[in-house]
């Protein structure tokens, strides 16, 4: 099972800050992750960056060798079956079993 929110091998943005806010300042209201609707993603040197319809972004990065494998499977799912993710919320994506998604891809 590869579920981003439950993985001990991945680090991901747990909050998405308003434009220009600095997390350490505390001068922001935590936003509901259901309001960020997935549009597409970009590869990063280490991990992936999810892009949302409202222009915000979230990153997912490996923190162990197993995390590299998990990122590879997540990337494969997002590339080969984008229609399964476009329009879903960030929270839904964080709770998707990517291993199950990859196992059904021909």
Number of domains in the chain: 1
**Which residues constitute the domain of residue 99?**
4-103
Contact 75, 48 (CB under 8 A): yes
pLDDT at residue 19 in the model: 56
Q: Which residue is listed with tokens 């993710």? A: 85
pLDDT at residue 5 in the model: 95
- Each residue's pLDDT tens digit, 21-39: 555 545 445 578 888 999 9
Q: How many CB atoms lie within 10 A of CB 42?
A: 11
Contact 101, 84 (CB under 8 A): yes
pLDDT at residue 28 in the model: 47
Contact 3, 54 (CB under 8 A): no
- Each residue's pLDDT tens digit, 75-87: 999 999 999 999 9
């Amino acid at each position: 099972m590869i579920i981003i929110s439950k993985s001990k091998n991945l680090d991901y943005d747990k909050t998405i800050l308003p434009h220009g806010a600095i997390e350490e300042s505390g001068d922001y209201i935590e936003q509901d992750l259901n309001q960020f609707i997935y549009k597409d993603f970009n590869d990063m040197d280490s991990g992936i960056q999810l892009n949302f319809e409202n222009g915000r972004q979230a990153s997912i990065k490996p923190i162990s060798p197993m995390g590299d494998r998990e990122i590879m499977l997540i990337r494969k799912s997002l590339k080969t079956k984008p229609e399964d993710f476009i329009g879903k919320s960030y929270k839904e994506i964080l709770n998707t079993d990517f291993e199950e998604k990859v196992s059904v891809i021909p």
